[in-house]
Structure 1
């Protein structure tokens, strides 16, 4: 039975994990011979939450997510190494393990200089945390009369004289836990409940913190698209040789070009592959997308939608179903929606790249048909033939130009004011923003909001839908036409919300920010778009069905398209590791495939690229490539479309 040590230095006792570090589990588990049952892995609340959200995840995947979340509470990156015993103790404590000195000495010997993330995971698999039943059993071995409590004097005696002795101050710190101690007694049932509840809360906080950390997310350890069911567990890791330095995404091209070809603290590599592509000036290229000659005679339908940037860097968008009733030639296009009212001026998001992936429903699965890779200025399109059936149309953007902006100090725009009669009135600036917002959520473009359209807006801004009864009340109080809300009705609805809060704009700002607006009423974290579908022989039916993130279905389609149309290179000495590089006039996509049974970590270095911006937002980053998996490495676009750009990427397997 492994010992578990919860002792810490006095100056660290105000940590959020204070209870986990102060309880005497190491003594109890090490000095009670009755506790010899095999240890079962502890299920963290955060992992359970992830498992509920993603039932397709295996136990191993959940384990790595929880392990990485814990690791990132101590280190900035999964590439950082553990460099001393205290760090090892601390990061193990974040996972509910509380190692004794004996356990620590087992993994941190006089010859150990550093341990990496893989080493950490290997330790976790060997050192399972104690279960609640085992801890209770250990306490009951001391409480021989089964009273449910242990006198402080008795516990003090055994904790300071037996096993790995605790100091007087450490024991007193346990006794100061008021929620489990009273009248000189430790209620060990309450203690166990509090201990495991705290452990779960810490794990949950760690997971949420990792999800909200956009830089950690861009490292994308453990992300995968496809895997075989017989994938083997990852083998024991090998020692690392150093850290990879991470560079900020906002570095200018000039600065990037002046950096060395590899980080000063670069690791040694098992294998390396380089890809160099010289690209011309995008704005000078001849348009490849052309319309069919008789397009004006084709039947057509259209819908609007929007890409929204989440706090954690994810991008969500509307998804669509297209029904084709007769085999027909089809022409599809997608482009950003210009809302600028000034003649000759484009909305700032018009430079965001857009594309559509076309998938066919087949026995509950969606197979990739094609995607819109040809362009004419902002418009991306596809021409081909579609048979009878239902198709998914999934909008896509690389994320290179729709990304979190650096925090800026900007003056907050005024949304409402009181007129001479003390009535609340919407400011002209807010009215203009609401008018643009109406244009975005009016998906069919008929100048009115149906209940279905309004609910997509509600789900985005509040997370709740408006039911039929509430919609009837809405129609009774605000201007409608054909049972749909007018633009003025939408304005009045927001004015009513301001009146309900007596002029407090807080809720209005929540709505605006959910729609991508900053405090200056500028749309900086969203990109509205419009989709048009033309069919030669039948009227196409286009329906908006969801508002969701770039799910595995889309990521799988991106990977498949790159494999089908990109250049493939195998790593020398690692023929099972293949890099696919797909390029078109606007961007380059890199996809990695690991056909082996071994988990690999690859470092990606873009430092020698010129005039480039990566979807990762980092010049140097690392990705974890699971066995039998395929994943998107990065998308790259020109930073300045009026200049030539060069993609120079070095991908290396870390030793």
Structure 2
């Protein structure tokens, strides 16, 4: 009978596979919506709007506590570093996804490491010594508070089973209080979208084998689904909804060639390297440049990831990170530069632009969507050795660390001449220590480390790092700070950075450009991205909201969406990507919301294929919910 039951169950699953998948998707969507609603509830307990930013470590701690977390100093330091100025609501959601609430099993496991005889209790003297002297040290007042909890303490002993129950009860109460508070606030209650599942407009799903997408593929009219039963989605049933479907073909099926000018070898050439660095809050920092063009000329510009791999046939892991370059023209007397163009054409990992530029100064601002440059889950691996002592007890750099330093040297050698000048070295110093090396300190470097024509050599750079290790008597802590700020993991792999190279060619004159700053995504870049999407993309006005326009831009590599709000009040737009296939979003969520202030534009999301060798489909429902 058991065998027959199993057989029938298997047959049933084969008959209704799509139904099971739909149910799983609905369950997953419901879970994401509940998570997002709980994030918003906690955030609105501390702030008036999710447009407000977290501006201090204390605020981060408070809002995490309202979300039912108990953040340690180590966790707070992980997300609020010396360079952190603010965190946004999206950052908060990402932190909550990573920092799960403690479970009773985990708490009991920690206590049982102390209670080796499994008595179920710990003496106060033992507990006080541990709380005040190890790990996350507690103050005497904090220890006293724990020991005064009468319902878990008696006769000088802590019943840690009861304590765990009490602790989790308080965490749950924090979360419930936040939800109740939002529920009671009518204005906030209107923002609590995604807390229920409603029917969305029915729409068709085009097969992935559809030919290359064109502008007509941007489906503006919801179509009747082939199935008789309506599809259930978390998008609210509302007239104020825009549906967009774009079918894209796999990159491997494209046969395009690099569209270089035929006589490019005769053009004047300039080059600079740079790097995208991923910050703790998810922001991306990169070098920014200024380019001077003496006269009107045809220009060809390329940007691509920079391959540091020493192994033939094995590309560096960041080579799949998308890159782009925005070209802005400096305008006399105006603070806001004009968007001229961006590298829209693609050949493999290279992105290019070809056109004509007049004489003047231009800003070159690198950009990546962030879809493929994300925080990695750090493996539980031991720190790679950086230094060791030889037979003479002298400190020596390990071969692995020397190789990493050599790669790092190539990244910060922006002009690619094999040496580091003071400007290049200062970008490195700003990144790793936040301070510049002045002229006097540079003179000291000249006296102590190998130089060539006042520029630091590769060997000199190695010796400088060895000196730092010697100053610390072999303690590699400062060296690890340098490595991690440059995007390296404990295994000496660059996992949170993407070096790139920019090449500029001009037909009639010599273009000159150099790095002028190292900064995170600024207002200029945000405006440039929005303008490019609004200029090149398709526009759809949201039904019943004529002042809210959704722009969707499609290239071979990505799809970008921008929301323009022309009204006098802010709008909240829920984004639902549940029906997309083989896609990853820069927001890292399938269902999320974007708050757009009055008279403003906001980047909704960037989307790329998870696997470029397969076809992909962008299916997005955008609904105004507040």
Q: TM-score, normalised by structure 2?
A: 0.67
Aligned to 1:422, which of 387, 393, 398?
393
Instruction: Measure the CA separation in 2 of the matches of 1:439 and 1:432.
Output: 11
- Superposed CA offset, 1:103-142 (max 9, x none): xxxxxxxxxxxxxx76x999xxxxxxxxxxxxxxxxxxxx
Instruction: Measure the CA separation in 1 of the matches of 2:306 and 2:415.
Output: 13
- Superposed CA offset, 1:321-372 (max 9, x none): 0000011100000000001111122111000000100000002321100000
Aligned to 2:261, which of 259, 268, 292?
292
Secondary structure of residue in 1 paired with 2:595 = strand
For the pair 1:216 / 2:91, whether they are aligned, the reply is yes
Instruction: Give the aligned CA root-mean-square deviation in angstroms.
Output: 3.0
Aligned to 2:497, which of 521, 526, 532?
526
Instruction: Measure the CA separation in 2 of the matches of 1:121 and 1:451.
Output: 40
Instruction: Measure the CA separation in 2 of the matches of 1:451 and 1:330.
Output: 30
Is the CA contact 1:609–1:649 (under 8 Å) kept in the aligned structure 2?
yes
- Superposed CA offset, 1:238-266 (max 9, x none): 743855379xxxxxxxxxx9xx97666x6
- Superposed CA offset, 1:45-74 (max 9, x none): xxxxxxxxxxxxxxxxxxxxxxxxxxxxxx
Q: In the alignment, which residue of structure 2 is the partner of 1:405?
A: 376
Secondary structure of residue in 2 paired with 1:556 = helix
Instruction: Measure the CA separation in 2 of the matches of 1:508 and 1:452.
Output: 21
Q: In the alignment, which residue of structure 2 is the partner of 1:478?
A: 449
Secondary structure of residue in 2 paired with 1:532 = strand
Aligned to 1:237, which of 172, 175, 187?
187
- Give 5+ residue unaligned stretches, structure 2: 1-33, 64-78, 96-185, 197-207, 209-229
For the pair 1:393 / 2:369, whether they are aligned, the reply is no
- Give 5+ residue unaligned stretches, structure 1: 1-74, 96-116, 123-198, 221-235, 247-256
For the pair 1:438 / 2:421, whether they are aligned, the reply is no
Q: In the alignment, which residue of structure 1 is the partner of 2:434?
A: 463
Instruction: Measure the CA separation in 2 of the matches of 1:272 and 1:579.
Output: 10
Q: In the alignment, which residue of structure 2 is the partner of 1:635?
A: 606
Instruction: Measure the CA separation in 2 of the matches of 1:81 and 1:314.
Output: 21
Instruction: Measure the CA separation in 2 of the matches of 1:219 and 1:603.
Output: 17
Q: In the alignment, which residue of structure 2 is the partner of 1:130?
A: none
Instruction: Measure the CA separation in 1 of the matches of 2:307 and 2:281.
Output: 26
Instruction: Measure the CA separation in 2 of the matches of 1:598 and 1:262.
Output: 31
Instruction: Measure the CA separation in 2 of the matches of 1:452 and 1:295.
Output: 30
For the pair 1:328 / 2:331, whether they are aligned, the reply is no
Q: In the alignment, which residue of structure 2 is the partner of 1:509?
A: 480
Secondary structure of residue in 1 paired with 2:384 = coil
Q: In the alignment, which residue of structure 1 is the partner of 2:590?
A: 619
Change (3 A) 1:432 1:654: same
Once the two structures are superposed, the pairs formed by residues 138-287 of structure 1 within 5 Å of their partners are 202-203=58-59, 211-212=86-87, 215-216=90-91, 237=187, 239-240=189-190, 243-244=193-194, 269=238, 271-287=240-256
Change (3 A) 1:475 1:584: same
Q: In the alignment, which residue of structure 1 is the partner of 2:150?
A: none
Is the CA contact 2:243–2:619 (under 8 Å) kept in the aligned structure 1?
yes
Q: In the alignment, which residue of structure 1 is the partner of 2:317?
A: 348
Change (3 A) 1:217 1:327: farther
- Superposed CA offset, 1:292-313 (max 9, x none): 0110000101000000000000
Q: In the alignment, which residue of structure 1 is the partner of 2:514?
A: 543
Instruction: Measure the CA separation in 1 of the matches of 2:89 and 2:528.
Output: 23
Change (3 A) 1:201 1:485: closer
Instruction: Measure the CA separation in 1 of the matches of 2:287 and 2:56.
Output: 35
Change (3 A) 1:325 1:614: same
- Superposed CA offset, 1:258-284 (max 9, x none): xx97666x6564611110000000122
Is the CA contact 1:337–1:528 (under 8 Å) kept in the aligned structure 2?
yes
Q: In the alignment, which residue of structure 1 is the partner of 2:552?
A: 581
Aligned to 2:578, which of 592, 607, 611?
607
Instruction: Measure the CA separation in 2 of the matches of 1:408 and 1:489.
Output: 33
Give the CA deviation at 1:379. 0.7
Instruction: Tell me the matched-pair count.
Output: 449
